[in-house]
């Protein structure tokens, strides 16, 4: 293995998942989506590969609940659709 390949392997970027915890998204079900994502990451042994954080507003309140993987925003999600989205991303 050459040095360049080793550096790329070590510096592999984590997937960023950001969930909106603003009041509109939270009332629309993101509290359940939050628990679903945490369980998914644990069940699939992904905690070390993901930076998972909350955000107060994704500026898409009317379309919520919202969450984001890297730079892609997903709106109108629920517990079932978030699992489908995570499966497509990680599998």
Q: What secondary structure does DSSP assign to 53-65, as a single string?
A: EEES--S-GGG-S
pLDDT digits (tens, 9 = 90+) for 2-50: 555 544 454 568 999 999 999 999 889 999 999 999 999 999 999 999 9
Query: Between these two residues, 63 and 11, which has the higher pLDDT value?
Result: 63
Checking if the pLDDT of 52 tops 60, the result is: yes
d(CA 27, CA 21) in angstroms, rounded, equals 9
What are the domain boundaries of the chain? Answer: 15-90
CATH code of the domain occupying 15-90: 3.40.30.10
| Whether the predicted pLDDT of 72 surpasses 50 | yes
| Both structure tokens of 85 | 């989205």
State the pLDDT confidence band at 69, using cuts at 50, 70 and 90: very high
Mean pLDDT within 73-90: 96
- Model confidence at 86, pLDDT cuts 50, 70, 90, reads very high
Return the pLDDT at 7: 47
């Amino acid at each position: 293995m050459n040095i360049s390949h080793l550096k790329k392997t070590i510096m592999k970027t984590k997937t960023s998942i950001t969930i909106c915890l603003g009041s509109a998204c939270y009332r629309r079900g993101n509290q359940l989506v939050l628990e679903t994502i945490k369980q998914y990451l644990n069940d699939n042994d992904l905690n070390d590969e993901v930076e998972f954080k909350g955000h107060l507003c994704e500026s898409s309140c009317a379309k919520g609940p919202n969450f984001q993987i890297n730079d892609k925003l997903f709106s109108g999600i629920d517990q079932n659709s978030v699992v489908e989205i995570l499966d497509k991303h990680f599998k």
